[in-house]
Structure 1
Amino acid sequence: MNEPSWEPVPYTLDLADGILALHRRAWGELEITRAEYHRWQYQENPAGPALSTVARERNTGELIGQFGAIPLRASINGEPQIAALALNVVTDPAYRRQGVFARLGHAANGQMAKAGIAFAFALPNENSFPGFVRHLGYHHVGDVPLLVRPVNVRRLVARRLPLPGLGALAAALSRPFAPPLPGSAPPVDDVTVVPVERFDSAFDVFWQRICRRQRVMVVRDAAYLEWRFRQIPLRRYFPFQAVVADDLAGYIVLRRAEILGMRAGLVVDFVVDPASGERVGVALLAQAAAHFASENVDLLASLMLPHVPEYGLLRRTHFWPVPRPLLPQRFRLVARGGPVVRKLEHWFLTMGDYDLA
């Protein structure tokens, strides 16, 4: 069998320009084709530099494929581990159907093993999902529900079914299930919600309190949250914290984004200390609703697993799980590692753990 004209090589800093050029050829002008975003994601991560594997043409040195991966500090049963999030998987259009994905994926598995990665996970798209499961040893852990709170039902319906009068009728019928967003957040007893100016040591203390609430979690301490939500270029997040008796009891991170032509208010990350009671989550979601009321959004959206308390809080505040036939895409969680990470009920996962949100 003839050797391909390319070879797999580990990512190094000097390959950054070639990776950006590959991204532009495959996807056009997006965030991940910008040098400052690449530097943040691949080089400034507090868990360490990227563990990506790239395909390089032997003769020209041009990069024609990538199996991207970044390390993340994680917790399994409350014990610190290093995990990897697979992302930015891409093959140059001229080299597709030549086994680039599978060969790079196997090389990436070896690179992660050498780096001491305890487990790897991803939320692949429809095209790459079969390859992860069939060829690379990833297990389909399960689907993560997308929850949506309709806000501007008239506009949502008009965009999907542009029939005269249908939007107004749908808005009237849906009012009991999709009430308008309040202009301000009502007070909740003993809970103070304020913007996060900086993720400080209070978030380290909070993380230590909650790190055992689910068996598999990405570490959410101050260093991670500051990198993920405040140091990121080209995006703006709005984090809020809930304080009870001078102690941090939960937080929420919000972002507005355009998705499929709709103005969406994203609940990107949402974590509460169950010991503080449901009122903390209620107060944070009320703040989210008030924040997005002035943003002219069509809907609010969040990813959340049904077995965690935050899911119930979202449901109480008019978020509805989207039926599979209506999903813009399935959010399939795949993982490669020991038995603990292969069960969906062990996980805590939000949009914040997904690189596109």
Structure 2
Amino acid sequence: MNPSEPASANPLPTGLVRYLPELEPELQQFLGEAFPKRDPQLRMARWKWMFLESARRLGVPPMVWLFRKPQGIIAHQGALTVSLQVAGARYTTGWFVETFVLEKFRKGPIGTGVIEKARLDLPFNLSLGQTEQMRSIQLRTGWKQIADLQTLMLVLNPSQVFQGKFGNPLVRLAAVAAMNASRRIRRWRGRPRGNAPAIRHLDEFGAAHDQLWNEVSPRYQTTVVRDAAYLNWKYVTQPGQDFTRLELTRNGKVCGLAILKFVEPAGSYAYRRCFLVDFVVDPTRDDDVRWIFEATWQEARNRNFDAVFLYLIHSRLQQLAESYGFLRRDPSRYLLIAADGVPEAVQRAALDAQTWFVTQGDSDIDRPASSD
């Protein structure tokens, strides 16, 4: 530095630091190096939505932990800020995501240190497992694995889904015929029986959806609060995403919400996939739950999509999904928690897999494919 130039009055901190607005230029550079395949037009916008907007919504500082050297940021740990209800209490906590250390610094303790600092700063921490390496680190540092995030698939068009799955075309035809027969029987048995609700598309969520959540939330012991503010942040304002939002009403009263995402064939998937990303419904009202599945099926069929995917932790809802015709596949995500900073009764409830309701909308697994 030229001696005639004044020294910076507030030099940027180094070591383990929390988010500061002054660090955003370095954050942009870090994100570009860490995630070069991400759309540069969305990279910073999604980062701000994930960490700044989620925290602002609940009135807390952004849940972002960084390791900074004088030359810039070299490690990052973030958490999507959410309100969690468990054992009759609410906690402002976060889904741990975006754990990354620049490659040339991975051999040292920096990555583990950032992860551990983030865990210690929050009384209750959530994760959907991320990579096998990340799960291994978490389990070594006190996290507990609670449940598998079940993968369920409803096949609408077996001939397209099975395309390329069998070498012998006769075997494929037989498999398609068997699947068609099976899904018709299962869907007939599991179809909703009561009066059909009115179904409409939503642009945003409001007071009627707060009322729905207030009515059904006591039926869920441990879950992220899905009020209108959360639903708007997650499924209306999320950059780079285009969700279909369905409202189900009966006798003028909202009885269910479903959030869908439609994905065209890509990579190893040669068929069109619909995802039932999230939903709000009374889990004790079986027919209302079935109408959520039916509304999803109708929307996917009307758009000529080939299969519906549902990621779920909730034993009763999973049973209803399978009775409707969803087939279980091997899970690839796992719910982990670290809850050392909450009362013992809350820990006991959170460690019980039977208390949880988790969907694809939790954490960041509903992100655009270009965000990988």
Q: TM-score, normalised by structure 2?
A: 0.82
How does 1:137-148 map onto structure 2 within 5 Å? Answer: 137-148=142-153
Aligned to 1:75: 85
Aligned to 1:115: none
The CA deviation at 1:230 is 0.5
SS at match of 2:204: coil
How does 1:152-301 map onto structure 2 within 5 Å? Answer: 152-161=157-166, 163-179=168-184, 189=195, 191-257=197-263, 260-262=267-269, 263-274=272-283, 277-301=285-309
Structure 2 gap ranges (5+) = 1-13, 340-346, 367-372
SS at match of 2:246: strand
Read off the aligned partner of 1:300 and give its amino acid letter. Answer: V
| CA distance 1:77–1:238, change in 2 (3 Å) | same
| CA distance 1:169–1:85, change in 2 (3 Å) | same
How does 1:27-38 map onto structure 2 within 5 Å? Answer: 27-30=35-38, 34-38=43-47
For the residues of structure 2 that align with 1:188 and 1:97, how far apart are their CA atoms?
Answer: 60
Aligned to 2:338: 336
How does 1:84-103 map onto structure 2 within 5 Å? Answer: 84-103=94-113
Percent of aligned pairs with the same amino acid: 19
> Deviations 1:287-338 (Å, cap 9, x if unpaired)?
2112112444332111122423x3233223211111x3xx5xx211000112
For the residues of structure 1 that align with 2:64 and 2:19, how far apart are their CA atoms?
Answer: 5
Read off the aligned partner of 1:302 and give its amino acid letter. Answer: L
The CA deviation at 1:350 is 0.8
Read off the aligned partner of 1:355 and give its amino acid letter. Answer: D
Aligned to 2:344: none
Aligned to 2:62: 50
The higher radius of gyration belongs to 2
8 Å Cα contact 2:147/2:313 also seen in 1: no
The CA deviation at 1:210 is 1.8
The CA deviation at 1:187 is 9.8
Aligned residues: 335
Aligned to 1:21: 29
Q: Is structure 2 residue 329 aligned with structure 1 residue 317?
A: no
Q: TM-score, normalised by structure 1?
A: 0.85
For the residues of structure 2 that align with 1:208 and 1:260, how far apart are their CA atoms?
Answer: 41
Read off the aligned partner of 1:319 and give its amino acid letter. Answer: F
Post-superposition, which runs of at least 4 consecutive aligned residues in structure 1 deviate over 6 A? Answer: none
The CA deviation at 1:283 is 2.2
Aligned to 2:342: none
Read off the aligned partner of 1:224 and give its amino acid letter. Answer: Y
8 Å Cα contact 1:148/1:299 also seen in 2: yes
8 Å Cα contact 1:150/1:178 also seen in 2: yes
For the residues of structure 1 that align with 2:29 and 2:44, how far apart are their CA atoms?
Answer: 10
